Structure 1
Amino acid sequence: MIKLIVSDMDGTLLNDEKSIDSEIYNILPRLKEKGIRFVVASGRQYPSLKKHFHEHINDVVVIAENGAFVVDDGKELVVEPMAKHEVAHCLENIFMLKDVEPLLCAKYCSYTRSPELLDYLSSPLFHYEMRLAEDLFQVKDDIFKVSMISHGGKSAENCYERLRPKLDNSLNLVISGDACLDTGLRDVTKGTAVAALQKMWNITPQETVVFGDQYNDVEMLKQAYYSYAMEGASSGVKKFARFQAGSNNKGGVVKAIRELTGL
C-alpha cells in the first residue's frame, strides 16, 4: 500500500516552461483522503515552492534546499545550515572559476551580487525571494547551500569536474540543472530528508513513491521501491530508478500517480 509520494519540481512536476502541472491540485485532496502524504522535494528555496502550491500548501510537505530545510504546515521539521567556514570555503573556490555566479541560499531568501540574477530568479519563472549583497562573505543569515550558476556556456558537468576536486570531503556537490550546481553538507540530501520523514511517519521504502530527473534526486530515489526517473532524465540518473515516468511536459508525474493509486 502506498503511503508516501515524493516529487522533484524542475524537470519533473514542472514542465520546461517552469509551469506546474495544475492537475496535481485536483488530486492533492484526494490523496489526503486516502491517507497518502504528498511531499515536494527540490533544490529550490521554500518561498518559491510555497508560491507554486499557494492555497494547497497545507496539503503538501516541503523539502527545500536539497533536504536542508523541511517544512510541514508552517512547522520547521529539519533545519541543517552550513557552518560559516564551509560557506566561505565554497565561495572562495567558486570565485576561482570563470563565467559562474554564486548564490547563497537561506531559509526564506537567497543572496546574490548580480542584479541580473536577482531579476531572473525573482521573476514569475522561479518566484524566488531575493536580496542583493555586495559582499557575500559578509552575509549573516544561516546558509543551507551555495549554488553556482554557469552563464558562460560551460555545462554543469564541466563545472562539476572543475569544482569537485577543490571542495572538502565534508561537502556535497550535485548537478541540479543544466547550468546549475549546488554545494551543501555531504550528509544532508533529499534522501536523508525523505528518510527522516519515513521514520517520523513509520513509512517504509516499499510504501514510498519518488519522482526525479537530476543527480540531486539520486539519494531520494534510493529511498523508495517505486522509484521513477522522468523520461527526460539523463541515463546516469535513470540507472538508479526502477521505473520510468512520462515526460514532464505531458503530465508524467500525475499520470503515474493516478495509475498507482487508482485516482
Structure 2
Amino acid sequence: MLEIKNYIGLDGVAPIRFIASDVDGTLVDDAKLIDSEVHHAVNVACESNIRVAIASGRAWHEMDDIFHALPDVRYFICTNGAFVMDKVENKELFHTTFDKSLALGLVRRLLTYGVFVEAYVKAEIFGQYPTVNLSVEDMNKAYFRPNIRPFILQTRTMVDNVLAHLEALPEGPEKIQIFFGYDTAKRDAILRDLRDSFQGHTVDGDGRARFYDVLESSEGNLEFVLPHTTKGTAVAALAKHWGYTSDEVMTIGDSENDISMLRFAQYSVAMGNALHSIKSVARYETVDNNHHGVAEAILSAVAHNAQVDIF
C-alpha cells in the first residue's frame, strides 16, 4: 500500500477537514474500477476524521459501484450538484431542477441532432436513441464508447419517447445529457449552436435569464446543467453546513464540470489526465487516474494534517 506522505506538495497552513472527489476520470480508472490504493486512502482519510464526499455528474442510481467499493463514504453530490444525498440516513439534502417547459424545449431541440439524448430525474435516467436505420447493438457501439458502454446499458431506462416521459412528470429534470460517441462533427455543431460566452452566469449579455450551461466531459458526451447549481455550489453548501471555510477543503477532478469546485477550494487538485484548461484552474496536480492519483492526493491531505498537528 502507498505510504502516508505529501506526494503533491501541499503547502497551505490550514488543515484539510473535507475532501470532495469527482468519480469518472478521477476516483475510478479507465475501466471504471476503484483500485485497492484508492480504497485504502479513503479509509485512512475517514479514520483521520476528514469528511469525504463524492461529487459527480452521475445520478444517485449510478453510484451503486461506489457504494459497494467505498462503504464508509456517506455524502454524495450527484448530477453536478443538483441532487445531494446522505447515504447513511437515506436523506435528500438538496434538490433542484430545470424549469420543465424550458427543459422540454431543449430536449426537443437536441433530438434533432441525431444523438442519444437522456434526462436525469433523481435516481433514474431516461434515455432515447435517435431515429436511425441501425440495430440497437450498432447504436450502442456508435454512441457509447467501449469503456462506458456496459455501465450505460446497466443504468439507463431506455424509452421510445423521452419527451412523453418528461411531460408526465410533475417537475423538470436535474440534468440533460447527450452522447455523440466519436462523431465530433455533431459535437461541434451542438456547441456552436447551443453554447454561448456566458458559461456559469445566470444572465446573458442582454440581461436575460439563462437556464443551462454546456459542459464537455471525457466520454463522448455533453452535459446541459443549471448555471447556478454546480459541484462547487454543493461543496460550498456542505462546507458551510459543517462550519468549514474554503481554506479547509480539498477538491479533486479532471473535467469541465469540476472547475467550479476546484475554484472554490484552497486545496484544489487536478488529475494528471486532466486537460491543461483544468490543470490551470487547480493549485496542485497529482498523477493520472490509472496510477491511483486520487489516492496520492488524499494521502497527501492526511500527511499535511499531521504536519499542522490539528487532529
Q: Normalising by the residue count of structure 2, what TM-score does the alignment of the two structures yield?
A: 0.76
Task: Give the structure with the higher percent strand.
Answer: 1
Residue in 2 aligned with 1:146?
Answer: 176
Find the counterpart in structure 1 of residue 272 from structure 2. 231
Q: CA deviation at 1:58?
A: 4.6
What is residue 248 of structure 1 aligned with on the other side? 289
Q: Secondary structure at the match of 2:70?
A: helix
How many angstroms does 1:157 deviate by?
Answer: 6.2
Deviations 1:38-86 (A, max 9, x none): 0111111112223323263452311110110111121111111212112
Instruction: State the AA in 2 paired with 1:72.
Output: D
Partners of 2:45 and 2:299 within 8 A in 1: no
Q: Following TM superposition, by how much is the alpha carbon of 1:232 offset from its aligned partner in structure 2, in angstroms? A: 1.2
The answer to whether the 8 Å contact 1:205/1:223 transfers is yes
Unaligned ranges ≥5, structure 1: none
Aligned-residue identity in percent: 30
- Asked if 1:80 is matched to 2:96, the reply is yes
Structure-to-structure mapping, 1:1-263, within 5 angstroms:
1-54=15-68, 56-73=70-87, 74-98=90-114, 100-114=115-129, 124-125=150-151, 128-139=154-165, 140-141=168-169, 142=171, 143-151=173-181, 153-154=183-184, 158=188, 159-165=190-196, 169-262=210-303
Indicate the RMSD between aligned Cα atoms, in angstroms.
2.7
CA distance 1:27–1:239, change in 2 (3 Å): closer
Matched position secondary structure for 2:225: strand
Say how many residue pairs are matched: 262
Matched to 1:111, the amino acid is: F
State the AA in 1 paired with 2:181: H
After alignment, is 117-126 or 224-233 more displaced?
117-126
How far, CA to CA, are the matches of 1:3 and 1:260 in structure 2? 9
Please list every run of 5 or more consecutive structure 2 residues that lacks an aligned counterpart in the other structure. 1-14, 130-135, 197-203, 307-311
User: 2-side partners of 1:170 and 1:118: how far apart?
Assistant: 30
Residue 164 of structure 1, CA deviation = 1.3
Q: Secondary structure at the match of 2:26?
A: helix
Letter in 1 for 2:162: L
Task: Please state how far the C-alpha of 1:219 moved relative to its aligned partner.
Answer: 0.3
- C-alpha distance in 1 between matches for 2:80 and 2:225: 8
| Structure 1 residues 174-202: Cα deviation after superposition (integer angstroms, max 9, x where no partner) | 11224111112110111111011011111
Change (3 A) 1:130 1:118: farther
Question: Which stretch shows the higher mean deviation, 143-152 or 207-216?
Answer: 143-152
| Aligned mates of 1:234, 1:5 — CA distance in 2 | 21
Aligned to 2:200: none
Once the 2 structures are TM-superposed, how far is the Cα of residue 155 of structure 1 from its aligned partner?
Answer: 6.5
CA displacement at 1:110 relative to structure 2: 0.7
The structural deviation recorded for 1:173 is 1.4
Q: Distance in 1 between matches of 2:57 and 2:240?
A: 22
Higher relative contact order (CA 8 A, sep 6+): 2
Q: Is the partner of 1:76 in helix, strand or coil?
A: strand
Q: Is contact 1:48-1:127 (8 Å) kept? A: no
Q: CA deviation at 1:258?
A: 1.1
| CA–CA separation in structure 1 for the residues paired with 2:262 and 2:83 | 18
Whole-Å Cα distance in 1 between the matches of residues 107 and 272 of structure 2? 34
Whether the 8 Å CA contact 2:270–2:284 is kept in 1: the answer is: yes
Name which of structure 1's ranges 168-177 and 39-48 shifts more when overlaid on structure 2: 168-177
Alignment CA distance shift 1:183-1:225 (3 Å): same
